[in-house]
Amino acid sequence: MKSRRDFLQKLTLSAVSIPLMPAYGTKSFAAYAGESYQGTMLRVAIMGLGSYGTRVADAMKDSKKAKLVGVVSGTPSKVKEWQSKYGIPEKNCYNYENFDAIKDNPDIDAVYIITPNGLHHDQTLRVAKAGKHVICEKPMGINAKECREMVEACRKANVKLLVGYRMRLEPNTLEIVRMRKDGELGKIMFFQGLSGFRIGDPTQWRLDKKLAGGGAMMDIGIYAVNGSRYMVGEDPVWVTAQETKTDPVKFKDGVDETIQFQFGFPSGAVASCLSTYSMNNLDRFFLNGEKGFAELHPATGYGPIKGRTHKGELNKPHVTHQTLQMDRMAEIILEGKEPELPLDGEEGLKDLIIIDAIYKAVKSGKKETIEI
């Protein structure tokens, strides 16, 4: 298995087959399909035309409020392929050297950055300077310092900075959040987040410290970090962490293979999480409260997401995550709407503050304070 994209794709293909029609929240497929939208569309250029960029582009074919209109890529052959496949005009095609000129293109509203982690910071600053809204894949940057600069650049440019937190829009996930908020689980006591798979090709960018910013934590582990926050409903205040490395040739210095980490939250709740590149079958969230529990397994794949609680199975309709994400982001940017769980750059910054603390705890062997 080569990457997290492959891992999440495998989860999708191995899950029970359900029609992949997009749906909002608890609305039925029929209700969503029957809705019409005559308003302004968010016009998006995708930067980075790899496998996930393709997944987003394909999902946007079903979007009601967002459409693909441009591309940014360093590979001319991919640009030509996308022009043909998605009907993208030549004037909306850029490479990594000239995309600053996008500022003079009134037909593009936002740029979705889907490139290696180590490139997000500089690319976000350039897109913001060009006056376009930024959608950035997670992790937003490779450390909190970068993320603060990204947030500030977008604030100064008066553009939105959103992060591709698709799971924060997933219906079964949001049902658990609702149950927690409504007190149906009682006082939250414990969260467990398991995120991992066996990574393949040792030459890929995800195992390059400069491009990835780390290893498994910066790829699959961020799901457990972010998930702990929206499942518990709080930000952690301390962390302890332990790293295990069995293959120092494949996982070079600064590229983590496996990290176990534990959080403490202001309410007294605790979390136990694992991030790894060396074990399969790890995609599970478990939330335990004084009155009940909730579980997602798989918790972060492309779907269908499966869940259950002490009240029974969760059966919200499957959502094409990227279709829903792009429509929701269009509402945020164009209509000023706010999602149930925020998707903004401040959330991306919080995750990197936490990840910085995890790496610090690995090195110190001590409990480290998290200051968000």
157-178: per-residue pLDDT in tens?
A: 999 999 999 999 999 999 999 9
The domains found in the chain, sorted by start residue, are 17-166 (3.40.50.720), 167-319+344-369 (3.30.360.10)
**Could you tell me how far CA 265 lies from the centroid of its own chain?**
22
Q: Are 305 and 298 in contact (CB under 8 A)?
A: yes
Among 64, 65, 138, 350, which one carries the catalytic annotation?
138
Q: For residues 195 and 283, is the Cβ–Cβ distance under 8 A?
A: yes
Instruction: Please tell me the pTM assigned to this model.
Output: 0.93
Whole-Å CA distances, 7 to 13, 62, 309: 10, 24, 25
- The residue annotated as part of the active site, out of 223, 277, 302, 359, is 223
pLDDT at 14 over 50: no
pLDDT digits (tens, 9 = 90+) for 198-241: 999 999 999 999 999 999 999 999 999 999 999 999 999 999 99
Between helices 51-59 and 76-86, what is the axis angle to 10°?
20
Confidence class for position 326, pLDDT limits 50, 70, 90? very high
Active site residue 223: yes
What are the E-state strand segments in the chain? 42-47, 66-72, 93-94, 110-113, 133-136, 161-163, 188-196, 238-244, 258-264, 270-276, 282-289, 293-296, 307-309, 312-314, 368-369
* pLDDT tens profile 336-371: 999 999 999 999 999 999 999 999 999 999 999 999
